[in-house]
Every structure is written in C-alpha cells, then in structure tokens.
C-alpha cells in the first residue's frame, strides 16, 4: 500500500470543502430563497443560475486568468475576497443582492478546484494520475456528505446560517490554498538555490 505525499491530503481537504459547498449551493440555495426569503417559486432558481453563469464565464477563461493574475490571486485571494463579499450579502437577506453576489462569487471561485487538481498533479509528475485520483476521492466525499450535513444544520438553526457558514468555509479555503501555494513557492526557491 502506498501512502500519498503529505501535500495530497491537504489539497484533498480543500477539494472536499470546495465541492461540498458547491453541492450546498446547488441543493439548498433555491429552497433558501423561496422558503426563508419568500421569493416566488418561479425565481427560486435564479441563485443557481447566477452562480453557474459566473462559474462558466470564469472557467472558459481559466487558463488566461491564471496566466495573467497568477495562481495565488486566482486560487487563494479570489476565494478570500469572495467569502468576505458573500458573508454580508447573505446576512442582508436581500434576494437581489444575494443573487448578484452569487454571480460574482461563481466567477471568483470557479478556478479554485482546477487549481487544486493542477497542484496535486504537480506534486509528483510521475504519479500525477494517482495524486489526482486521491484528491478527487476526497473531493467527491465532500460533495456527497456536505449537502446532507446542511440539512441537519438547517433543521436546528436555519438555511441562512448554513449559507453564512459557506462564506466562512470559502474564505478558509482561500487561506488554506495560500499556505499550500506558499509552501510550493518556497520549495521551488529552495530547489533553485541548491
């Protein structure tokens, strides 16, 4: 049995948190708008549409965005900014503002997961496929277990609380990515000096 490089589980945890929160948006956000904020049912899916539209727009330009702004800004700083912007919007309980901010957040968060996978592959290019499979396994666990956990939290508190928690988790994901990318940069500098 092979143990993965210690960085692989780090990227796996970030991937799991990322996919679990995306699953929450897809599974719970429309109910949140219609039940908690009394938005008409016909407009409940607006939040999912906005988030998805932002993600698609950013993913189509993902490589050029990373080349222009760098992995640190796209994979870390954008997530932190998104979490900081999302939290007050969620707490505002203003459906129009929330939908607009989810559009923005879909855009700034779209290239986080691809950055996770790319960095997992770069840990050991000879075992890139194995590293990607390990990270993907952890990430899928997050996608499967995140949304049901929200149901439990929502039953005891509210969906608004879970949406606020998403903003915090996304910000923490950005911080986690920052540390992993800094460690990568430091290793690269150490290797170039040696």
Provide the CATH number for the domain around residue 39.
Answer: 1.20.1250.20
In a domain, 1, yes or no: no
CA distance 142 to 18: 8
In a domain, 194, yes or no: no
Task: Give the global pTM.
Answer: 0.90
CA distance 180 to 116: 10
In a domain, 193, yes or no: no
In a domain, 98, yes or no: yes
Per cent of the chain over pLDDT 70 is 98
Question: How far apart, in Å, are the Cα atoms of 76 and each of 9, 80, 139?
Answer: 18, 6, 18
pLDDT tens for each residue of 106-149 = 999 999 999 999 999 998 888 899 999 999 999 999 999 988 88
> Residue 135's domain spans which residues?
7-188
Look at the chain and report how many structural domains it folds into.
1
In a domain, 174, yes or no: yes
Buried residues in 96-114 as b, exposed as e (16+ CB within 10 A): eebbbbbbbbbbbbbbbbb
Separate counts of helices (H) and strands (E) for the chain: 9, 0
In a domain, 178, yes or no: yes
For all residues of the chain together, what is the average pLDDT? 92
In a domain, 65, yes or no: yes
């Amino acid at each position: 049995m092979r143990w993965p490089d210690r960085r692989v589980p780090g990227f796996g945890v970030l991937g799991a948190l990322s996919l679990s929160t995306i699953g929450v948006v897809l599974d719970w956000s429309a109910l949140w708008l219609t039940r908690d904020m009394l938005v008409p049912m016909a407009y409940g899916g607006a939040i999912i549409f906005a988030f998805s539209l932002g993600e698609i727009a950013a993913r189509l330009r993902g490589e050029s965005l990373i080349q222009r702004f760098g992995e640190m800004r796209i994979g870390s700083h954008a997530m932190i900014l998104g979490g900081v912007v999302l939290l007050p919007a969620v707490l505002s309980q203003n459906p129009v503002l929330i939908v607009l901010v989810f559009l923005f957040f879909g855009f700034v968060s779209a290239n986080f997961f691809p950055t996770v996978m790319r960095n997992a592959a770069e840990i050991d290019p000879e075992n890139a496929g194995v590293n990607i499979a390990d990270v993907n396994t952890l990430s899928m666990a997050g996608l499967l277990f995140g949304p049901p956990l929200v149901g439990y939290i929502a039953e005891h508190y509210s969906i608004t609380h879970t949406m606020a928690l998403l903003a915090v988790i996304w910000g923490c994901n950005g911080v986690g990515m920052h540390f992993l990318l800094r460690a990568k940069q430091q290793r690269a500098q150490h290797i170039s000096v040696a």
